[in-house]
């Protein structure tokens, strides 16, 4: 164990050196020695898979020292290769040797290392948001539908799964990776698409929900604010645990509206950036009403609770929750044209 621990503790120094100016002095033999160390760590990870007790003991020691994770052992050749490819300090002759090592044909039917690096690089660029900004859904097409965003979602899930593989703590590993990505429309749209990607339900629940629900509340609020009423209703149908947080945000957004008796409608104050217009509040509640039971009833119960807290009025204009409930219970043919988005299928 002590020998394994001593060798494993060398990995951070090796990775740090591959990203530093130290590689200026690396000749081809030095490069080969570094790559051999990378393969050694990868083989060590495979060896530990067959010895659970030794693996857990080493994992505890590494976690105590806070140096590396077991998944980094498995990915060491890849991490080294990417770092060296991006390090301009690497001499040209040594770089040529690096490329030659990539192009050696793989044996045993494994994916060639150069192909793996290219795929990883493409995934990283996608995850960092080097894509066109997302567009609002049109003609009933949700924000996560379409080939580009689905590919991006699959890459995100694949990278999160690979990053956490073998650690035994996938949720924490994925949260750490996601926290390194810039929050905004591209990431929110990709996360939403990943949550409903067919065949990835288990990975999405383990790798994405903790980051979304247990992380920064402001981030979750922005996520809900960005996604359309239809998308949030669909997500709540897939993941009922999301509904409570979404309803809390709707309660806060609704409390910011005030009634304008001259126009006979609820209006924003215009003082806060994240204020939600009355029209959008109606749309969001309407779509939630169409979520399959028992979630639809939960939404109605929450609105009735808010209405009671406001005084349980039955007259319009005194409580936004009264007005929303009256609108939800009004027959469709009595509603004003354009007031609601009727098609909110999930």
Q: To 10 degrees, what angle do helices 278-289 and 320-329 make?
A: 50
Q: Where is pLDDT greater, at 194 or 97?
A: 194
Helix-strand-coil split of the chain, %, nearest 5 = 65, 0, 35
| Closest to 324 in 3D by CA, of 269, 267, 284 | 284
Model pLDDT, residue 330: 72
Is the bond preceding 264 in cis, omega lying within 30 degrees of 0? no
- For 194, half-sphere exposure in the C-beta direction (CA atoms, 13 angstrom radius) is 27
Question: pLDDT for 230-273, tens place per residue?
Answer: 999 999 999 999 999 999 999 999 999 999 988 888 998 876 77
How high is the pLDDT of residue 267?
Answer: 92
List Cβ neighbours of 277 (8 Å cut-off, separation of 6 or more). Answer: 268
Q: What is the model's pLDDT at position 340? A: 35
More confident residue, 56 or 181: 56
When computed from its CA atoms, the radius of gyration of the chain, rounded to whole angstroms, is 26
pLDDT band at 158 (very low <50, low <70, confident <90, very high): confident
- pLDDT tens column, 278-330: 999 999 999 999 888 888 899 999 999 999 999 999 899 999 999 999 998 87
Q: Give the pLDDT band (50/70/90) at residue 141.
A: very low
Distance CA 213, CA 232 (A): 14
344 vs 62, more confident: 62
Decide if pLDDT at 135 tops 60: no
Residue 103 confidence class, pLDDT cut points 50, 70, 90: low
């Amino acid at each position: 164990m002590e020998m394994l621990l001593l060798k494993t503790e060398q990995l951070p120094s090796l990775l740090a050196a591959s990203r530093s100016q130290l590689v200026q002095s690396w000749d081809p033999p030095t490069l080969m020695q570094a790559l051999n160390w990378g393969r050694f760590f990868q083989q060590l990870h495979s060896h530990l898979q067959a010895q659970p007790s030794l693996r857990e003991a080493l994992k505890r020691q590494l976690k105590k020292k806070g140096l590396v994770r077991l998944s980094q052992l498995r990915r060491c050749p890849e991490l080294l290769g990417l770092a060296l490819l991006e390090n301009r300090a690497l001499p040209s002759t040594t770089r040529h040797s690096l490329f030659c090592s990539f192009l050696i044909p793989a044996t045993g039917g494994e994916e060639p290392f150069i192909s793996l690096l290219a795929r990883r690089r493409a995934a990283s660029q996608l995850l960092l948001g080097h894509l066109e900004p997302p567009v609002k859904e049109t003609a009933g097409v949700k924000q996560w539908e379409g080939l580009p965003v689905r590919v991006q979602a699959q890459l995100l899930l694949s990278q999160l799964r690979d990053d956490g593989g073998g650690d035994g703590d996938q949720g924490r590993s994925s949260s750490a990776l996601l926290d390194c990505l810039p929050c905004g429309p591209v990431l929110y749209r990709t996360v939403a698409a990943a949550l409903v990607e067919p065949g990835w339900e288990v990975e999405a629940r383990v790798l994405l929900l903790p980051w979304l629900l247990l992380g920064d509340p402001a981030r979750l609020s922005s996520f809900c604010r960005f996604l359309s009423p239809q998308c949030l209703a669909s997500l709540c149908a897939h993941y009922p645990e999301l509904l409570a947080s979404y309803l809390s945000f709707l309660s806060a957004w609704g409390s910011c509206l005030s009634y304008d008796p001259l126009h006979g409608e609820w209006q924003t104050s215009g003082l806060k950036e994240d204020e939600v217009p009355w029209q959008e509040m109606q749309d969001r509640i309407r779509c939630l009403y169409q979520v399959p039971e028992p979630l639809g009833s939960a939404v109605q119960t929450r609105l009735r609770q808010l209405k009671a807290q406001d005084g349980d009025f039955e007259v319009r204009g005194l409580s936004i929750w009264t007005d929303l409930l009256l609108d939800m219970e009004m027959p469709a043919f009595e509603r004003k044209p354009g007031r609601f988005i009727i098609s909110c299928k999930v």
